[in-house]
């Protein structure tokens, strides 16, 4: 006799125990797709990274080439000289850093009106080892003088000097015949400048040998408030190479800054975030 006397069938549970409910496919798919989406969002495509690197590499390379070009143009020919007196103000002020064309050393290509750097020691009482910044007023073979109105004359004709100020006749009227191979020089600040006028009673009437010229001032490089080129005497001298050199340096520096800017910006943002978090932690 069967033990199930009630006649009710015994439920078959073998299928349920053998086959548990599988995880819905939709959930697994969503989870997998979610991980894939997060991975893609966290890691930008390699092509984007390559383009970002290229945007930094190209300006950096161009900037390096321009910096090198500017250096090669300026270094062999030009020097920086810090002016230590007010004798040439306001054209060249005390403590201005002037760009000096050393190709004009020894008087090469010198002309009346040039602002030059001359070595000390050729005037009596000079301290050897110094340099003066002065303006060439007369060349060898010319006659320079100061008339009764305080004007500079060259070969009997008054010279326009918009750059000069002060009393040109501070040392009295004079007339000097400049020997060949020598120059007569004055500072633009006539009331305070010590120049050829201070040595009129010496053997060469205050003139200097052209060999004392160390270079010609072409521009003011520093400070930025005085930045600019010096006015040239009339007549073409050829293309000013220093402008190309300085321009190359400036553009090269700007390109290098542009290339480094993304990195600097990220680094600065990281530092600011770190400081902010530290301050908040201290406040708590």
In-domain check, residue 276: no
Checking if the pLDDT of 25 tops 70, the result is no
Separation of alpha carbons 120 and 164, rounded Å = 23
In-domain check, residue 176: yes
- Domain range for residue 125? 79-236
Q: Please indicate, yes or no, whether the overall pTM of this predicted structure exceeds 0.75.
A: no
Average pLDDT, the chain: 81
In-domain check, residue 274: no
220-234: average pLDDT: 84
- Find the CATH number of the domain harbouring 140: 2.10.109.10
In-domain check, residue 47: no
Separation of alpha carbons 115 and 85, rounded Å = 14
In-domain check, residue 252: no
In-domain check, residue 68: no
CA 93 to chain CA mean position, Å = 19
Q: Given this model, what pLDDT does residue 281 score?
A: 84
In-domain check, residue 2: no
**What are the structure tokens assigned to 223, written together?**
């400070």
Q: Are 66 and 249 in contact (CB under 8 A)?
A: yes
In-domain check, residue 211: yes
Question: Which of 170-184, 206-220, 250-264 is least confident?
Answer: 250-264
- In the chain, the number of structural domains is 1
């Amino acid at each position: 006799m069967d033990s199930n006397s009630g006649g009710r069938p015994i439920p078959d549970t073998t299928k349920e125990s053998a086959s548990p409910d599988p995880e819905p496919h939709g959930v697994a798919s969503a989870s997998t797709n979610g991980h894939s989406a997060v991975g893609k969002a966290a890691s930008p495509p390699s092509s984007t990274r390559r383009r970002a690197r290229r945007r930094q590499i190209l300006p950096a390379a161009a900037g390096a080439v321009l910096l090198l070009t500017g250096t090669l143009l300026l270094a062999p020919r030009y020097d920086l000289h810090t002016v230590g007196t007010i004798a040439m103000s306001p054209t060249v002020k005390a403590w201005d850093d002037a760009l000096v064309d050393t190709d004009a050393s020894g008087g090469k290509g010198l002309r009346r009106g040039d602002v030059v750097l001359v070595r000390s020691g050729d005037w009596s009482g000079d301290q050897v080892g110094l340099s003066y910044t002065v303006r060439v007023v007369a060349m060898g073979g010319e006659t320079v003088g100061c008339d009764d109105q305080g004007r500079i004359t060259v070969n009997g004709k008054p010279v326009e000097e918009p750059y000069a100020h002060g009393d040109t006749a501070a040392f009295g009227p004079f007339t000097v015949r400049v020997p060949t191979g020598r120059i007569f020089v004055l500072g633009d600040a006539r009331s305070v400048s010590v120049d050829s006028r201070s040595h009129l009673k010496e053997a060469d009437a205050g003139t200097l040998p052209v060999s004392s010229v160390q270079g010609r001032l072409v521009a003011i490089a520093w400070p930025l408030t005085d930045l600019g080129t010096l006015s040239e005497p009339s007549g073409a001298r050829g293309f000013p190479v220093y402008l190309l050199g300085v321009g190359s340096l400036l553009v090269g520096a700007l390109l290098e800054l542009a290339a480094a800017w993304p990195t600097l910006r990220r680094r600065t943002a990281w530092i600011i975030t770190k400081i902010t978090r530290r301050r908040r932690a201290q406040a708590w």
